[in-house]
Structure 1
Amino acid sequence: MELPVVAGVDGSQGSLRALDWAVAEAAGRGLPLRIVHASVWEHYEGVRSGPAADRPSEQVYAETLVAMSKERARSLSAEVEVTTDIRPEEPVTALLEEADDAALLVLGSRGHGPVAGMLLGSVSLSVAARARCPVVVVRGRGPDAQQPSRPGDGRVVLGVGDTAASGATARFAFREARSRGCELVAVRAWHGPRHPTVPHSPSDSDQLTAGRRQADQYVDTALAVGEGLAEVTVRRKVVPGTAHQTLLETAAPADLIVVGARRRHGTFGLRLGQVDHAMLHYAPCPVAIVPEREQGGAV
């Protein structure tokens, strides 16, 4: 059975753009689409049948939301098989469970409530940090954007990591570039001279050369997973600088940024690395966070 593309919806403009992106993704990959809305009230009150006036307003809203979302999805692509579900759980819990049986989880960058004005909604951030499948947070294109960014004549940008586990991230990026018919730009930053105009010693030059060489090796390893995919045009970008700034500069005209989930165990559980955080908060386009397996096989 093919795993679906799952879109989390809450009625916000951000989630509508995410739904549109998910529809296009499902159509491009020939996968079913599952639309999910999570609501805590259902857990405590239960679902009631009967006229709308006899049911909790939250239930009426949830049912209306998923019905309208399904209609919207079908209007965008009649070929995509669409199912819906209303889950009686906290959104983060529900979406993480959905991720266990999904090919991809698609979320908006902001939601309803007091977190709506933040750079990234707390639900999207929490799910991206913990999901076991790739998560796409749909950012960019402006508040009035109505259409997803695929297919397009832009690019897929791959942030190249420095672990052997990053093969999954590269494979995801190649697949996305191939389905869009656009180029793949593999980006790796390395630590260059702090003051380029100041002369540096031979030992400094050796270190810089080694840094550049290592960066090239990381890119070689990442791109090796796409050998044989002649239909994907690949461009390398290995430059001195910081990883997050280099990615953001490259992503300005991009359809999608793809980075690995470099997770860290912190005081409050799993946390994403600095580069992932920067992309989720500031990227001008959708961002895919792909889980990378740790040693021992656990995600």
Structure 2
Amino acid sequence: MDLPVVVGVDGSEPSMRALDWAADEAARRGVPLRLVYASLWERYEGAQLAEDLGKPSGRLRAEDIVETAARRAHGRRPDLKISTEVLAEEPEYVLVRESRNASLLVTGTRGRGGIAEALLGSVSLTVAGHAHCPMIVVRGSHDNQTGSTTHGRVVVGIGAKPALSGALRFAFEEARRRGVQVEAVRAWRCPAHETTDHPLLAGEPARLHEQRAAEELEAALQDAPADVELHRRTVEGHTRTALVNASHDADLLVIGARRHQRHFGLQLGRVAHGVLHHSACPVAIVPEQA
């Protein structure tokens, strides 16, 4: 059974851009698309109260939104198999639950004006921290080119573990589907307390840190597939800054989120938070095992 691409919709423009991305992704993967709308209006307020206030029922409004979204997805990808669901629950809980039976979860961003537009909505941030499958948050200035390969590359952040991680595998798969290259980025820093007086770093502390980063990058990529063009890059500075800068010339930015035992969901660190809030392109969060 092919697991669907699941997308959360709520009628907002960011969610419609996420819908477009999800439709394109489902078509690339050859899997169904599942549209989910979740709201507590029907549970807490009810259709009777809506009628008393002379306002449309939350349920009717939700169904209209989902039907409109389904028509949009079908118009974009006529051959795509599409299913819909309207649920009277918190959207965070619904999307996390849906991620258990999805090949990919897609959400948009929410914000209203100024700084808010640059930041990630609470629903997407919460779901990113608990999803059971890879998740793409469609954000950034490239939203009007949803699903395109404008820059011809997928960027993936590389940590210190010398292994082909879930994030790396995901990046290679996405690049293969799009026919684009992968750029693997490993950031490094020379700690301020290290000086030329350090016995192991005498004279060249920065060079040795850069060399170590290059070696870690090479170790992580040792099992990289041969059928995808791969570029390696080491960058001095904070990892989140290096990845956000790289996102300006990327179609997709991929990072891993490590799952810890006895911890509910994923432990999103400062790098993931920074990238999710400030990336200039869509971001894929891929669960990693500790």
What TM-score, normalized to structure 2? 0.86
> 2:200 aligned with 1:203, yes or no?
yes
Partner in structure 2 of residue 173 of structure 1? 171
Q: What is the RMSD computed on CA atoms of the aligned residues?
A: 3.2
Partner in structure 2 of residue 258 of structure 1? 254
Partner in structure 1 of residue 72 of structure 2? 72
**Which residue identity does 2:6 align to in structure 1?**
V
Q: Extract unaligned runs of 5+ from structure 1.
A: 49-53, 295-299
How far apart, in 2, do the equivalents of 1:12 and 1:110 lie?
A: 8
Give 1:83 deviation, angstroms.
0.7
Partner in structure 2 of residue 51 of structure 1? none
> 2:185 aligned with 1:187, yes or no?
yes
Aligned sequence identity (%):
46
- Pair 1:277–1:263, CA change in 2 (3 A): farther
- Pair 1:270–1:24, CA change in 2 (3 A): closer
| Superimposed CA distance per residue, residues 131-183 of structure 1 (whole angstroms, 9 cap, x where no aligned partner) | 111111001126xx544132444210000022367611100000011111111
1:209-288 equivalence runs, <5 A? 209-228=207-226, 230=227, 232-262=228-258, 271-288=267-284
Partner in structure 1 of residue 288 of structure 2? 292
How far apart, in 2, do the equivalents of 1:128 and 1:44 lie?
A: 26
Residues 36, 85 of structure 1: 8 Å contact kept: yes
Partner in structure 1 of residue 31 of structure 2? 31
How far apart, in 1, do the equivalents of 2:111 and 2:119 lie?
A: 11
Secondary structure class of the residue paired with 1:238: strand
Q: In the comparison of the two structures, how many residue pairs are matched?
A: 282
How far apart, in 2, do the equivalents of 1:180 and 1:37 lie?
A: 29
Give 1:88 deviation, angstroms.
1.9
What TM-score, normalized to structure 1? 0.83
Give 1:218 deviation, angstroms.
2.8
Secondary structure class of the residue paired with 1:156: strand
- Pair 1:100–1:55, CA change in 2 (3 A): farther
Partner in structure 1 of residue 15 of structure 2? 15
Q: Extract unaligned runs of 5+ from structure 2.
A: 49-53
Secondary structure class of the residue paired with 1:10: coil
